[in-house]
């Protein structure tokens, strides 16, 4: 699909540099949000299963 962040970055790169950088920052923030959610979910599942940090079973 042509509606993603990547296509908007390339479309705005030559004509509208500030908008292109805004899309780059938006993509970085979106990736960071997904990363933080996955770290949080991992912590919750480790607590529910009784796992200790580092993968050890207590």
Report yes or no on 57 lying in a domain.
Answer: no
Residue 56 lies in a domain: no
What confidence score (pLDDT) does residue 1 get? 54
Confirm whether 44 is domain-assigned: yes
pLDDT at 35: 97
Q: Is residue 20 part of a domain?
A: yes
Query: Per-residue b/e over 16-54, b at no fewer than 16 CB within 10 Å?
Result: eeeebeebbeeeeeeeeeeeeeeeeeeeeeeeeeeeeee
Residue 55: the pLDDT is 58
- Give the structural domain span for 16: 5-49
- 41 occurs within a structural domain: yes
Q: Are 26 and 5 in contact (CB under 8 A)?
A: yes
Structural domain includes residue 32? yes
Number of domains in the chain: 1
- Output the pLDDT for position 39: 95
| pLDDT tens over the chain, length 58 residues | 577 777 777 777 777 788 878 888 999 999 999 999 999 999 888 888 776 666 565 5
């Amino acid at each position: 699909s042509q509606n993603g962040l990547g296509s908007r970055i390339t479309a705005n790169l030559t004509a509208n540099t500030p908008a292109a950088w805004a899309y780059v920052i938006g993509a970085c923030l979106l990736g960071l949000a997904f990363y933080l959610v996955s770290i949080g979910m991992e912590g919750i599942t480790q607590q529910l299963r009784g796992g200790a940090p580092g993968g050890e079973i207590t």
